[in-house]
Amino acid sequence: MRSDEQRPLGRPRASDQTQPTTESITEAATQLFTKNGYQTVSVNDVAKQCNVTKATIYYYFPSKAELFTETMVQMMIRIRKRINAMLHEPIPLKSRLYNITKTHLSATVDIDINGFMKGTTHTLSPEQLERINKAEMDMYQSIEQVFTHAMEQKEIREINPVFATHAYLSLLKVGNYNNEKQAKIYDSIDEMAEQIIELFWEGVQIKES
């Protein structure tokens, strides 16, 4: 019997894969879920997006809820790695934050975790919600740790690092604001990033008495 005939139902042929199938599925799911939200995206939509069968999706992910959970977790892991790399560049903290802010504002997708989670409370299991919550906390913890270190080094004043982290993240969300005409507050990403960092830095810098 040929090896193709021994494949479990839904499993793709090795020769058909140009990248790991789970990776291509979660990449496609990320695009769809972040653009359209959980409720409106179907497993069939994801299958069409990455050019596989619905059976293949279900081979790797037993449900839409599990696919969404893994998609969210992997997305936040990628963000955390990128943030970590930028946070540990050998330049002043203010410059590092500016680079992160500019990168965030340049992204094609607004990373709004709360927005993505709408409509999932009664669909995801407690374990799935916990996995997503932990990935989100790990993502933010990278910033908290750098703020804590900066306080120890007297680069910024001593405040609650959790508060400082979420104050910074809140300003990032403001940077994605569009008015009723879908226009940004500032004309350029550079100017918006500069304004966000100047406002944040005004609150955390050590001021001479």
154-199 pLDDT, tens digit per residue, is: 999 999 999 999 999 989 888 777 677 767 777 888 999 999 999 9
The predicted-structure confidence for 14-58, as pLDDT tens digits, reads as follows 544 445 588 899 999 998 988 888 888 999 999 999 889 899 999
What's the token pair of residue 153? Answer: 């080094």
Helix (H, G, I), strand (E, B) or coil at 120: coil
**Per-domain boundaries in the chain:** 1-62, 64-209
Give dist(CA 129, CA 139) in Å, integer: 15
Give dist(CA 16, CA 14) in Å, integer: 5
DSSP class of 15: G
CA 26, chain centre distance (Å): 13
- Return the CATH fold of 1-62: Arc Repressor Mutant, subunit A (1.10.10)
What is the pTM (predicted TM-score) of this model?
Answer: 0.74
Give dist(CA 185, CA 181) in Å, integer: 11
Give dist(CA 114, CA 151) in Å, integer: 29
Sign of CA dihedral 140, 185, 193, 28: positive
What's the token pair of residue 27? Answer: 């990449």
In angstroms, the Cα distances linking 72 to 26, 104, 155 are 9, 17, 34
Query: In the prediction, which pLDDT does 12 show?
Result: 46
Q: Which of 130, 138, 31, 133 is nearest to 84 (CA)?
A: 138
Tell me what the mean pLDDT of segment 98-111 comes to.
Answer: 78
Alpha helical stretches, state H, the chain: 21-36, 43-49, 54-60, 64-87, 93-106, 113-117, 126-152, 161-175, 189-204
Between CA 33 and CA 75, with CA 17 as vertex, the angle to 5 degrees is 30
Residue 119 pLDDT level (bands cut at 50, 70, 90): low
> Which CATH number does the domain 64-209 belong to among 3.40.190.10, 1.10.357.10, 1.20.140.10, 3.30.70.370?
1.10.357.10
- Give me the chain's average pLDDT, please: 84
